[in-house]
């Protein structure tokens, strides 16, 4: 799906890595992901060491505040504009 990550208002980044992985590799990955987001985006980071991840790393990124044209079209088609106005941004919860 085509989307503009630079418009995200926030992100949750979770890293799972093996005991042998240097922390510097985690920081490099987080920096690389963060570089695609706007400077004022709120970023929450979590990490966990998992022995079964020897020699590898898994990164989960959840973005908020991105507008997708297809979703906006569905909202208009279904007449959900009023419901959308009552939704909250993750920062308001």
Is 40 inside any structural domain? yes
- pLDDT for 82 equals 57
User: pTM of the prediction?
Assistant: 0.70
The total of structural domains in the chain comes to: 1
Give the CATH number for residue 60.
3.30.1330.20
Whether 26 maps to a domain, the answer reads yes
Q: Which two tokens stand for residue 62?
A: 């959840």
pLDDT at 66: 81
- Tens of each residue's pLDDT in the chain, 93 residues: 567 788 889 999 999 999 998 999 999 999 999 999 988 999 999 999 999 998 899 999 999 888 777 767 766 766 665 555 555 555 555
Q: What is d(CA 44, CA 32) in angstroms, rounded to the nearest whole number?
A: 15
Q: What is the pLDDT of residue 40?
A: 92
């Amino acid at each position: 799906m085509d989307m503009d990550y630079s418009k995200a208002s926030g992100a949750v980044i979770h890293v799972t890595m093996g005991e042998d992985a240097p922390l510097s590799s985690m920081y490099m990955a987080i920096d690389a992901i963060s570089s695609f987001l706007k400077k004022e985006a709120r970023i929450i980071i979590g990490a966990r060491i998992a022995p079964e991840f020897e020699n590898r790393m898994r990164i989960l990124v959840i973005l908020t505040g991105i507008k997708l044209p297809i979703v906006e079209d569905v909202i208009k088609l279904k007449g959900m504009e009023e419901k959308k106005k009552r939704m909250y941004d993750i920062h308001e919860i």
